[in-house]
Amino acid sequence: MIKSRHRKRQIRANGENGRYAHVTGWGVEVPERVLTNHDLEQMVDTSDEWIRERTGISERRIADDRDTAVTLGTRAARKALKHADILPDDLDLIIVATMSPVYLCPSTACLIQDQLGATRAGAFDLLAACSGFIYALSTAAGQIKSGMARTVLVIGTETLSRITDWSDRGTCILFADGAAAFVLQESDTPGGVREVVLHSDGSGGELLYVHSGARPTWNGAEAPASLINMNGRGVFRFAARVMSSATEEVVQQAGLTLNDIDVIVPHQANMRIIDAAMRSLKISSDRVVANIERYGNTSAASIPIAIVEAVENGQIKPNDRIVLVGFGGGLTWAAALLEWEVTPTPASYGRDVLREGLYILARVRSLINRMLRLLEALFFRAPSDRQPRQRAGTPAKPPQQDE
Ligand code: UT7
């Protein structure tokens, strides 16, 4: 039983019973297709100069017709499993942060679980817009520190191009597609995900929203179904405020100062927001990860994509203390403090082959399960099934294997 704020902090920092949640593997998957600012000039009334000056974005990646949040997320996840050198069956839990799922139900996490063949894992989606990855990381670390899970896969995956209004120059210049996945594992070595702060303010929900099929609309106004609606200036003002406050809060919670932090990884939404926040924190640009110029805003995938790039180009090094900080629709904002103590797992050819074999087996297993369900429906009908039923609504396409 938690008796005090102090004790709560101790559990967050040290883990209950000496359990710590370390990042042991990661993977990124971005679509090949590049959409430049010059391409956008042909689509809406904008210019390369305006977009670069006001956002810092030059180009972004857009998924082709076959890709979805599931396919991108699955490929990122496979890379992360390979990097951590674990098998799909090692996973206890899969958490997906996304605001562009193919379906509200089934979750993107369940469809990825099926693609991976992670037969032991629970799976669910989490929606906290662009703060989603930090929310998911926090949930995963909490599961591990409490002893409820040992190995958790966290994925941020988005195909925002599918929910972008391509005639709205205020949003279509910002959003993009991509995915990244982290494997978190229990360890008795101190470090890993040390501190997290999560915040929300639903009173600002109308600043950035996407409709589900279940209406009503904000303020009774009719809006295009399932497309991103955003009050850019409103989100900008909110973001500039909370990025610095959340960074300071998470650092203080860890009993550290900003000088103890090696690298900050902010949500890649607008270079002006990042610059303003870092200026107010007096953090020089060499300590800030920024790749928005090449990827635009990939929402829940933006922070993990930026981390992986920074690890690969040496900006984040083993034993670095890093702060992740994000904000987004909801409104939500969050920050996490990680100690990046990953020692590379030596690549094992045999395990690679085994993993690939298991992915093929997963597809076969999934197909067999579907067929068995069909047979079950044919031969083992419940008495009530024999009566023709009236069905409400339009029948929708059932989830496909590749979605
Ligand atoms: O992950 C969280 C997601 N959202 C965000 O982070 C969004 C945060 N907000 C922003 O990034 C910025 O507010 C935007 C990039 C969306 C807009 O930049 P801004 O500097 O806030 O521009 P503004 O909305 O104040 O508009 C300034 C002018 C307007 O023209 P007038 O009224 O001054 O004549 C706009 O119509 O710029 C115009 N404008 C554009 N012009 C050329 C707006 N979008 C464009 C455009 N190209 N794409």
pLDDT (0 to 100) of residue 380: 77
Catalytic residue of the set 37, 229, 270, 297: 297
CA distances from 183 to 22, 121, 137, 294 (A): 8, 13, 10, 25
pLDDT (0 to 100) of residue 401: 53
pLDDT (0 to 100) of residue 271: 97
- The answer to whether the CB of 159 falls within 8 A of the CB of 63 is yes
Look-up: residue for tokens 């929708």? 396
Q: What residues line ligand 1, using a CB cutoff of 6 Å?
A: 46, 50-51, 54-55, 130, 169-170, 173, 208, 230, 232-233, 235-236, 239, 269-270, 297, 299, 328
Question: How would you write 352-369 as a 3-class SS string?
Answer: HHHHHHHHHHHHHHHHHH
Ligand 1 centroid, distance to 104 Cα (angstroms): 30
Instruction: Put residue 18 in one of left, alpha, beta given phi > 0 → left and psi -120 to 50 → alpha.
Output: left
pLDDT (0 to 100) of residue 260: 97
Reading the block at residue 175, the tokens are 């959003």
CATH H-level superfamily of 2-340: Thiolase/Chalcone synthase (3.40.47.10)
- Least Cα distance to 133 among 355, 379, 333 occurs for 333
Ligand 1 centroid, distance to 233 Cα (angstroms): 7
Cα-only R_g, the chain: 22
- The answer to whether the CB of 128 falls within 8 A of the CB of 95 is no
Q: Max CA-CA distance within the chain?
A: 71
Which run of H or E residues covers position 22? strand 20-29
The pTM of the whole model exceeds 0.75: yes
pLDDT (0 to 100) of residue 213: 73
pLDDT (0 to 100) of residue 382: 65
Which residue among 270, 273, 298 has the greatest number of ligand 1 atoms within 8 angstroms of its CB, and so is best to mutate? 270
144-175 pLDDT tens trace: 999 999 999 999 999 999 999 999 999 999 99
Q: What is the rounded distance in angstroms from the CA atom of residue 161 to the CA atom of residue 23?
A: 29
Look-up: residue for tokens 């019973």? 17
Active site residue 270: no
Q: Which atom of ligand 1 is nearest to the CA of 130?
A: 1
pLDDT (0 to 100) of residue 379: 84
pLDDT (0 to 100) of residue 377: 85
Q: What is the rounded distance in angstroms from the CA atom of residue 95 to the CA atom of residue 183?
A: 10
Mean pLDDT by 10 residues, the chain (403 residues): 48 66 96 98 97 98 96 98 96 98 96 98 98 98 96 98 95 97 95 96 95 69 76 95 97 97 98 96 96 98 98 94 97 97 73 95 95 87 59 57 53
Catalytic residue of the set 83, 110, 130, 270: 130
- Count the Cβ atoms, other than its own, within 10 Å of residue 290: 20
pLDDT (0 to 100) of residue 86: 95
CA distances from 194 to 21, 152, 185, 309 (A): 8, 16, 14, 22
CA distances from 224 to 63, 68, 164, 166 (A): 22, 21, 10, 12
Active site residue 313: no
Catalytic residue of the set 22, 110, 229, 267: 267
Q: Which atom of ligand 1 is nearest to the CA of 269?
A: 6
pLDDT (0 to 100) of residue 391: 54
- The answer to whether the CB of 295 falls within 8 A of the CB of 30 is yes
Sign of CA dihedral 344, 347, 348, 353: positive
- Count the Cβ atoms, other than its own, within 10 Å of residue 97: 31
Question: How would you write 194-259 as a 3-class SS string?
Answer: EEEEEEECHHHHHHEECCCCCCCCHHHCCCCCCCCEECHHHHHHHHHHHHHHHHHHHHHHCCCCHH
pLDDT (0 to 100) of residue 112: 98
- The answer to whether the CB of 360 falls within 8 A of the CB of 164 is no
Q: What is the rounded distance in angstroms from the CA atom of residue 312 to the CA atom of residue 246?
A: 26
pLDDT (0 to 100) of residue 15: 54
pLDDT (0 to 100) of residue 395: 52
* DSSP tag of 288: B
- Count the Cβ atoms, other than its own, within 10 Å of residue 32: 9
Domain extent listing, the chain? 2-340
